Structure 1
């Protein structure tokens, strides 16, 4: 049992999470039944309840784990030895792909839809994703500054500014249903603009 979140870990924990992930993304929180989740996870309802006595806990854990996984994939691409333009392009490309992915969109929409029901979900989502990326980017910024490659006064602000630059035009269009898919050229156009603008402001 994890004393911090009240969730018991065990050998079928990941199996339960994967089944729940599939059902929540297909049916949303309200539409997801415990029976369907247990079936997708290939476990009994008793086993499911032994890990997650509350569907809310299960939903929160699914969102947190997936966001953490995506954020960790993004930060592992940050090679501290490379120059800022290369690092920003690689990290930004991964962030954009997540913003535009089917999973990223579904989790975002579910979190927004359920924000009144689960007021702490947004903070958990943020801590598992954006905050992790922010920490890794600021670590890189500090190293790049020590090499004379960047000049930044407020490191966390700069990290969030870059993340927002990577959303320009693309994120609003997909959120509001204006456009469902984007070409590589459309994505690279936004990414190049984000990197250029960031370096115009913070390049040493």
Structure 2
């Protein structure tokens, strides 16, 4: 079976097309984004755009995957894997809430949810390049910290999922329901530090 990557041609203007598409998708959503607007924003012809992406679904999937991987890489490449759990988890939690509340994070999640019924592969693509990738990187740290005797974890995947869900406390339901889209530093700090404290109360080890 062909995958989305089998149908996408890469070339000189590939990144240019992605950046233009990202701008339009975030502004207009999946359904509202027109090929004409994307081509205009990317400064390419419609023929060039179609030569890279035969349909809009593939283009959105690539935009979502590229941006999620970029943000995941930026979020975790600077974390010190040798640092104590509280320090690493606080930093990771800050990066999570920053992504969740960013314009891109809000828009792409809403688009994937809205279109998952018609295009289930979009949701899978977003999950694989976003939440799943972040979970896998959290697992790497949890294993190292447990090996050092700083944490007491046996089910690393489940513990990572718990930590990531804690970072969504309060903010995610409000965002998805459109009740609140911006949050104060104090609100986010409460979630960050509360998430880490609760996680360490369950999995931390008293090393004093």
TM-score bracket for this pair, using the shorter chain length: over 0.9
Does the 8 Å CA contact 1:77/1:91 hold for their aligned counterparts? no
Instruction: Give the whole-Å Cα distance in 2 for the aligned partners of 1:127 and 1:197.
Output: 27
Q: In the alignment, does 2:152 pair up with 1:151? A: yes
Q: Is the 8 A contact 1:77 1:90 kept in 2?
A: no
**CA distance 1:3–1:178, shift in 2 (3 Å):** closer
- Kept in 1: contact 2:146–2:153 (CA 8 A): yes
What is the aligned partner in structure 2 of residue 44 from structure 1? Answer: 45
Query: Structure 1 stretches of 5 or more lacking a match?
Result: none
Alignment of 1:168-187 (within 5 A): 168-187=169-188
Unaligned runs of 5+ in 2: none
> 1:128 & 1:171 partners in 2: Cα distance?
19
Point out 4+ residue stretches in structure 1 off by more than 3 angstroms: 2-5
SS in 2 for 1:120: helix
Q: In the comparison of the two structures, how many residue pairs are matched?
A: 203
In structure 1, what is the equivalent of residue 84 of structure 2? Answer: 83
Query: Equivalent residues in 2 for 1:41-80 (5 A)?
Result: 41-80=42-81
Aligned to 1:29: 30
What is the match of residue 197 of structure 2?
Answer: 196
Deviation at 1:4, TM superposition (A): 4.2
Contact 1:173 1:179 in 2 (8 A): yes
CA RMSD of aligned residues (A): 1.4
1:93 is paired with a residue whose SS is helix
- Provide Cα deviations, 1:62-85, integer angstroms capped at 9, x if missing partner: 111111111111121321110000
Q: Distance in 2 between matches of 1:22 and 1:137?
A: 30
Structure 1 window deviating more from structure 2 (2-11 vs 108-117): it is 2-11
Q: When the two structures are superposed, what TM-score results if normalisation uses the length of structure 1? A: 0.95
Distance in 2 separating the partners of 1:8 and 1:59: 15
Per-residue CA deviation, residues 157-192 of structure 1 (Å, 9 max, x unaligned), is: 111100000011111122222223111111111111
Contact 1:16 1:38 in 2 (8 A): yes
Give how far 1:130 is off: 1.2
Structure 1 residue 99 and structure 2 residue 126: aligned?
A: no
| Partner Cα distance (1:98, 1:13) in 2 | 25
> Helix, strand or coil for the counterpart of 2:120?
coil
Q: How far did residue 3 of structure 1 move? A: 8.5
Contact 1:71 1:133 in 2 (8 A): yes
Deviation string, structure 1 residues 80-122 (Cα, Å, up to 9, x no partner): 1100000000011001011111111111111111111111111
TM-score, structure 2 length as denominator? 0.93
TM-superposed CA distance for 1:26, in Å, is: 1.1
CA distance in 2, matches of 1:135, 1:180: 28
CA distance in 2: counterparts of 1:105 and 1:134, whole angstroms: 19
What is the rounded CA distance, in whole Å, between the counterparts of 2:19 and 2:78 in structure 1? 25
